[in-house]
Amino acid sequence: MAIMKSVQIMSESKKSFEDAIENAVARMSDSVNHVRSANVNNQSVVVDDGKVSKYRVNLQITFEVKG
């Protein structure tokens, strides 16, 4: 039986929500092995001078740990 752990993280990108998600998964994969899923809990943007400057996502990332 696999043991899974879940953590919540925030990521941001100047390009898009999708880029923020991909950055989060890539960075998490550098830190832990066996990332299995990512669930977007929230999306938001930072607005500067009436324009979107950053896209932010809060993610719940689940990965397998050895038991």
Give the separation between CA 47 and CA 27, rounded to whole angstroms: 25
pLDDT at 30 over 90: yes
Q: b/e string for 42-62 if b means 16 or more Cβ within 10 A? A: eeeeeeeeeeeeebebbbebe
Average pLDDT value for residue range 34-54 = 97
Superfamily of domain 3-65: Flavin-binding protein dodecin (3.30.1660.10)
Q: How many alpha carbons fall within 13 Å on the CB side of residue 55?
A: 14
Q: What is the pTM of this model?
A: 0.88
- Our measurement of the distance from residue 15's CA atom to the centroid of its chain's CA atoms, rounded to an integer in Å, reads 15
* pLDDT score, position 67: 63
Q: Where are the domains of the chain?
A: 3-65
Give the separation between CA 20 and CA 3, rounded to whole angstroms: 27
pLDDT at 16 over 90: yes
Q: How confident is the model at residue 1 (pLDDT cuts 50, 70, 90)?
A: confident
